[in-house]
Amino acid sequence: MAHLLQLKISLKGSRPPIWRRVLVSSEMSLLDLHDVIQFVFGWQDYHLFIFELGSFEFVNYPDWEEDAYQFQSAEDAILGDLIPTYLPQGGKFVYRYDM
């Protein structure tokens, strides 16, 4: 069963602070979340990205084909499955864009 998740997305090191708060479905993949982040910040999705949750890294495989063995697929990683394990309430993870 899907739940709404409230996420605060902050740009690290920005002064003044730049952030967005979004509500997303727990059934979304990290690839879907990447699309949401691109939209709410007005970015054009021209660059590579990676999500870091603990010691795990998730990418969009077509962008990283030669190094794919090092990463997990952002398309297959579902938020509702990741949150209980990697992100207790108030937990943080990293999204890197423009790599």
The CATH code of the domain that includes 9 is 3.10.290.30
- pTM of the predicted model as reported, rounded to 2 decimal places: 0.85
Instruction: At 27, list the tokens.
Output: 């059934």
Q: How far apart are CA 87 and CA 56, in angstroms?
A: 12
For residue 89, CA distances in Å to 25, 37, 51, 86 come to 16, 20, 18, 10
Q: How far apart are CA 33 and CA 38, in angstroms?
A: 9
Which range of residues forms the domain containing residue 66? 4-97
Q: How far apart are CA 58 and CA 16, in angstroms?
A: 29
Instruction: Specify the number of domains making up the chain.
Output: 1
> What is the tens place of the pLDDT at every residue in 29-67?
999 999 999 999 999 988 889 999 888 888 876 655 555
